[in-house]
Structure 1
Amino acid sequence: MGKAVDAQVETSLAEAESRGACLHSYSELVHKDLRRRRKLGQVVEPLPGLYARKEYWKGLGPEERAMHKIRGLSRLRPGWVLCGPSAALVLGASVSWSCLDPIEVVSPCGRGSLLGGKVRGRYASEADAYGVYNDGIWTTSPLRTALDCARRLLFRDAVGVVDSLMANGLFSKEGLLSYLDGLPGGFRGVAQARRVAAFADERSGSGGESIARAAMWELGFAAPELQVRFEDPVDGSEYFVDFLWRLSDGRVLVGELDGGEKYVNPKMTGGRSALEVMRDERRRESRVTASCDAVVRFSPADVADNWRFSQLLDVFGVPRDHEPLVVVEPPDEEPPTEEVPLEAYGI
């Protein structure tokens, strides 16, 4: 392969990276060079005809990888309209990692497998498929996207998507319910979509908090208040807690989702080290406990384990007000205890 083509591919890969996209093989010469590089292990091919440098790809998170594929696909197939979780991700929604693949697109021919199974076609009529243009990418409308996610995804994942779409100001809860009421009779999955819409709340602080709240509900626990303001009794600064329950005996319980990202994501750490963030969190919690009776902390892993999460909330006295909607059974074996490094305690 000539030096000119090699230089052209290098430039094109760098340009695609600057756009946050996979490179599509736009000419036969480029295609051959990229295939050669793939055989040598220099590039990966996440979708047929879309490429990225191997080392660059390894450094991307699941959402970043999904968006790279979507941006590349929008050039490889410019007429395609994304739908479902793929459209939700483009619209800025919080989408569970388990829902990122395969990419979903509107298909007039109905459900089917495209591009070697890496893309899934979903049927929608021409009117339903009317899309919006977002940064060079076509998606179904926010309301249609919410409908498709709410009727097809698991309840927890669907709540995460709809909460975040509302939080982004793309529609209101009333607007979504009105849209669902206007669907023709017998529309598949609309009952499930109504349950998600009725439960959705734009005040949720993150997709993880939305999933945790939905898990609480499925496990039979009372819906908490969200993003409740607390005042620091020492300096008067404001804190907002993720969840709060006011018990009939006057006690106040606070729930906090303890995701690991806030310790390592530069956008959330504000330049602080993980140890500094953890110390600030401990200080914040000590001030919050001055105005409540207990703080129950839990991780995404806790939320994903119905038995563990149910036991944890019960121990802290989180109230129940309905029967569990899912089966909650103890595990066959106790999982190994995760060791916490001494650095976590500031030692």
Structure 2
Amino acid sequence: MKLRNDIEQLRIEGERGRRCFYPNNHLQQQALAARLHGGQFIRPYRNMYARSEYWHALPPPEQARHIIRAMSHQYPNRVFAGLSAAAMLHLEYPWKLHHDESVFIASPRGRSTGTYSRLHHIVMRTAPTCTLVDHFGNGQFATSVIPETLASAAASGSNVADTVNIVRITTPARTLIDCGLRYPFVQALPMFDSAFRNNLVTRGQVLDLCNEVHIDCSCVLRLLHYANPLNENGGESLCYGTIIDEGFAVPQLQHVFIDPDNPWVRHRADFVWHTHDGRVIVLEYDGTRKYVDPKMTHRRGIQDVIRDERDREDALRRAKVTDIIRTTYDEVVQRTPLKRKLLDADVPMTVANPQYERCLDIRGRER
């Protein structure tokens, strides 16, 4: 009975701290192994456990955070890097990057023989770090980012009440560099957009660190050139990156159109091109949540949402928009359907029209 109560207490503490739990002794480990066969618990990582129903309800980035938080309790001095640090910073990126369930840590050396295959080392002599402190404030789970210079105070808990997790990660600038070096342009761009949108780092800080590391950062520089915090979510960033990667002109983002029949009504378009022959092309990115998430539909039915979209398109055409294109996440990922739509609408290509390249300021606006 005591053993069962001990495991239940570990589970409760783990779920409260939004992390996996792990056994403290051999008896607990044996008891958990028996429950694995019954399907009550799952082992998502070596020596880490979670309630099956609870675990499967978590999206992949949160599953990664649960593993990382548990690992930070097991190894307090470990510094998480790359995609693991991006997950802890709640950056936007395609969830499929977690397909192999890898964990990334900063290390002065490469992986040694016998190291767990899902634990990847990103080699760096001295890792620029910051500390994430998870705590409960007014009953709400919250995370504070603590500079490394104040990490000792965070570890002592003197400044934060009810601390539940302390996780060391690479700084946002180093995290973006590592992810920019590892992942394709369209997958890494949402990380850069969201980092700038949430004011976690500046372009200058990333550029300064690029100059310090002894690595070819040309792909990171390309990401810095095109990153735009005006993309409101990871889906828009993915679409924006795909447009650029396919060689189309860089669009304006979140352009506001005024309905001439109702001047008080304004509509923001996701992507806009103003061509030299006077055409105005709008591309709208439609995420599925736009039609099914009550928070985004304001609890209206799908037919009501679709009717509103038609009214919106009519208003855009009254505002002199000549072409309206709609695309979805699946079309963006497949690329060919999106590319065909852009070609059919005669969206300018950068190669043929270099003047369509744009230089953006820190807010994503054209200089």
Per the TM superposition, whether the score is higher than 0.5 is: yes
The whole-number CA distance in structure 2 between the counterparts of 1:80 and 1:307 is: 42
Matched residue, 2:315: 287
Secondary structure of 2:120 counterpart: strand
Matched residue, 1:219: 246
Matched residue, 1:317: 346
The whole-number CA distance in structure 1 between the counterparts of 2:337 and 2:113 is: 37
Structure 1 position 204 matched with structure 2 position 204? no
**244-253 vs 21-30, which deviates more?**
21-30
Counting only pairs closer than 5 Å after superposition, residues 3-152 of structure 1 correspond to structure 2 as 3-100=1-98, 101-111=101-111, 116-126=116-126, 128-135=127-134, 136-152=166-182
1:275–1:45 distance in 2 versus 1, CA, 3 Å: farther
Instruction: Give the letter for the 1:118 counterpart.
Output: R
The whole-number CA distance in structure 2 between the counterparts of 1:197 and 1:75 is: 34
- Alignment deviations for residues 287-333 of structure 1 (CA, whole Å, 9 cap, x no partner): 3343212221111211122322211111122111217xxxxxxxxxx
Of 203, 214, 220, 1:193 maps to 220
Structure 1 position 300 matched with structure 2 position 329? yes
The whole-number CA distance in structure 2 between the counterparts of 1:12 and 1:193 is: 42
Secondary structure of 1:137 counterpart: strand
- Structure 1 unmatched runs, 5+: 324-347
Percent of aligned pairs with the same residue? 30
What is the deviation of 1:282? 4.1
The whole-number CA distance in structure 2 between the counterparts of 1:319 and 1:11 is: 61
Larger relative strand fraction = 2
What is the deviation of 1:264? 3.7
Q: Is the 8 A contact 1:244 1:253 kept in 2?
A: yes
Instruction: Give the letter for the 1:157 counterpart.
Output: Q
Matched residue, 2:188: 158
What is the deviation of 1:177? 2.5
Of 241, 248, 253, 2:281 maps to 253
Secondary structure of 1:236 counterpart: strand
Secondary structure of 2:179 counterpart: helix
Instruction: Give the letter for the 2:68 counterpart.
Output: I
Instruction: Give the letter for the 1:183 counterpart.
Output: E
The whole-number CA distance in structure 1 between the counterparts of 2:28 and 2:39 is: 16
What is the deviation of 1:154? 0.6
Instruction: Give the letter for the 1:105 counterpart.
Output: I
Instruction: Give the letter for the 1:150 counterpart.
Output: G
1:281–1:69 distance in 2 versus 1, CA, 3 Å: farther
1:269–1:34 distance in 2 versus 1, CA, 3 Å: farther
Q: Is the 8 A contact 1:92 1:168 kept in 2?
A: no
What is the deviation of 1:235? 7.1
Pairs aligned (count)? 317
1:92–1:238 distance in 2 versus 1, CA, 3 Å: farther
1:81–1:57 distance in 2 versus 1, CA, 3 Å: same
The whole-number CA distance in structure 2 between the counterparts of 1:17 and 1:274 is: 35
- Alignment deviations for residues 229-259 of structure 1 (CA, whole Å, 9 cap, x no partner): 2335447233322111101121111111111
The whole-number CA distance in structure 1 between the counterparts of 2:232 and 2:116 is: 37
The whole-number CA distance in structure 2 between the counterparts of 1:290 and 1:303 is: 28
Instruction: Give the letter for the 1:133 counterpart.
Output: L
1:66–1:322 distance in 2 versus 1, CA, 3 Å: same
**10-19 vs 148-157, which deviates more?**
10-19
**211-220 vs 233-242, which deviates more?**
233-242
Instruction: Give the letter for the 2:123 counterpart.
Output: Y
1:110–1:272 distance in 2 versus 1, CA, 3 Å: farther
The whole-number CA distance in structure 1 between the counterparts of 2:27 and 2:292 is: 41
1:50–1:264 distance in 2 versus 1, CA, 3 Å: farther
Secondary structure of 2:4 counterpart: helix
**230-239 vs 115-124, which deviates more?**
230-239
Give the root-mean-square deviation of aligned CA atoms.
2.4
1:134–1:321 distance in 2 versus 1, CA, 3 Å: same
1:305–1:157 distance in 2 versus 1, CA, 3 Å: same
1:312–1:114 distance in 2 versus 1, CA, 3 Å: farther
